[in-house]
Structure 1
Amino acid sequence: MAWIYLIIAGAGEVIGVMGINQVNQNKSIGSFCTLVGGFLLSFIFLSIAMEKLPMSTAYAVWTGMGTVGSALLGMFVFGESKDWRRILFISMILCAAVGLKLIS
């Protein structure tokens, strides 16, 4: 169950980063709510996940999910570059997170 909480925390991280981008584009109550709500969700579920998972693994996987999710969101929603090198390094981050799961 801790891994499910960690996945929810990673999704909240991506929502929070999306909120940062929205605040930069349009300073509205909705964009601030997305920012605060996403990070609040993220930190709450990360905290719950860390009750069962080692801190180093939970934090590394959480930041990896946030990084990969934010990069993919940028590429597919906000029109950022889809260069093969970006995709290569994103996949390396993803492989490292899966590797940590396999050895935990």
Structure 2
Amino acid sequence: MPTPEVPCPRGYWGGAYRTISDPEKPAAYNKLAGPAVEAGGGRILARGSRVVAHDAGIAERTVLIEFDSFEQAVAAHESAAYQEALVALSDGVERDFRVVGGIE
């Protein structure tokens, strides 16, 4: 399994929103996160609340974003622009968010 030290051909952000307690905060986050993701080289592959959940999954808003590499995905998450978006989101949601390395 790839680690941050091993180059990956692609990197992905995956997030599932378990609860949204303040709808204004995700809206503010989206205004900032979209440009931050784009500036970091990310491409939104899926975003929405049309989800069929299985096993212990929750059918809630899910987002999948692709980057050219795992390192690029990590750097975009750590960027000042994306960190500003996270401040806007703050406690408005509970979400499961991951940065995942792709496979060849």
TM-score with structure 2 length normalisation?
Answer: 0.30
- Whichever structure has more helix as a proportion of its residues is 1
More strand as a share of residues: 2
State the structure with more CA Rg. 1
Q: Highest relative contact order (Cα 8 Å, sep 6+), 1 or 2?
A: 2
